[in-house]
Amino acid sequence: MERIPVGILGATGMVGQQYIRLLADHPWFEVAYVAASPQTAGKKYKDALKNGWIVAGEIPSGVAGLTVHDVADVKKAAGECALVFSAFEMPDKNMIRKTEEMYAAAGMPVFSNASAHRHTSDVPMLIPEINAHHLDIIPLQQKARGWEKGFIVVKPNCSIQSYIAPIHALLQKGYDIKRILVTTMQAVSGAGYPGVSSWDIIDNIIPYIGGEEEKTQFEPYKILGSIKNGTFTERTGIKISATCTRVPVSDGHTAVVSLEFGKKKPRRDTILNTWRSFRGEPQKFDLPSAPRQPIHYREEDDRPQPKRDRDTDKGMAVIVGRLRECPVLDYRFVALSHNTVRGAAGGGILNAELAFKKGYLSI
């Protein structure tokens, strides 16, 4: 099929570059439009990269010569692309929210990495293997806002990607989880570029990341929730306590998780079989960016490790290990996901692939 022209908002940043890298040979989408700050508008993309190309490989030749446009120039984007991936940053989240709404109002679906719309009552916060049915709210979102073709879908914070899929797989099998204690060890790339000062992170662990614990604790409730009367109702009955730390790792967020079940506690082999057999709609539809197996379990005592395991299954899988009984709660395990692939650009692309396959993109 002829590839769909897409735009990248915030194309010069780390996540924007990751989008461009991952879309270079995509069978459905083609990067046709790049936008960033007004300071870079008018420059060729390869000349607009203040800190250079900072992700793997080289700048795709088809993008290097594209002219960078101002993110605020919605009319220009509407004439050149059918949808946009939003990875731009502003200190004012309200401005991000309004800008994304302007793109949707102009007829372009917006697949966002930003947090501005994560708790908007009619905007799905999507992990396709978990809550693909949340896309069903799109027609209601469009009707309420008067949008004909445009809509907004967001992906959740990268800090929850590693542990929410293993949790969902168990809930889906009918096991009632009451309490979750999670400590994340988050890579420096999660802070963008140049990110954390080397003086702060080398030979060190930083036991605080602003806003991360709140996102890690509360975003799962919406993801695991349901649609009622045209809005999202959060999942109840689960308590989550999170501590989020920054560690000297380039890519890959790790989570140490302890679970307490309700009356029905599964056996260890049942949990492992549940994880290994877990599949979602991305696997059903064989989406281009989907991992063949969403959850990989490592039997070794010293795995998962970011350096060895973050690129598993195109960097889109969750890698779990060290499942064992917990002397305080019921079970504990370690989980890992690639924060700039699954947790950022790759997750956004997968969201768009699912929306396309389910007929929500009017191309």
Choosing from 117, 134, 168, 253, which is the catalytic residue?
253
232 forms beta bridges with: 227
Choosing from 158, 168, 296, 338, which is the catalytic residue?
158
Residue 81 a catalytic site member: no
| Closest to 353 (Cα-Cα) out of 1, 13, 24, 27 | 27
- The residue type of 283 is Q
Cis peptide before 304 (omega within 30 of 0): yes
157 torsion bin: left (phi>0), alpha (psi -120 to 50), beta (else):
beta
Contact in structure between 340 and 54 (CB atoms under 8 Å): no
Torsion of CA 225, 352, 157, 136, to 10 degrees: -10
Give me the phi and psi of 183, to 5 degrees please. -120, 120
- The residue type of 3 is R
Count of C-beta atoms within a 10 Å radius of residue 187: 24
Cα-based angle 59, 63, 66 (whole degrees, multiple of 5): 130
Query: What does the buried/exposed string (b/e) look like for 190-215 if buried means 16 or more CB atoms within 10 Å of the residue's CB?
Result: bbeeeebeeeebeeeebeebeebbeb
Residue 326 a catalytic site member: no
Active-site residues: which are they? 158, 253
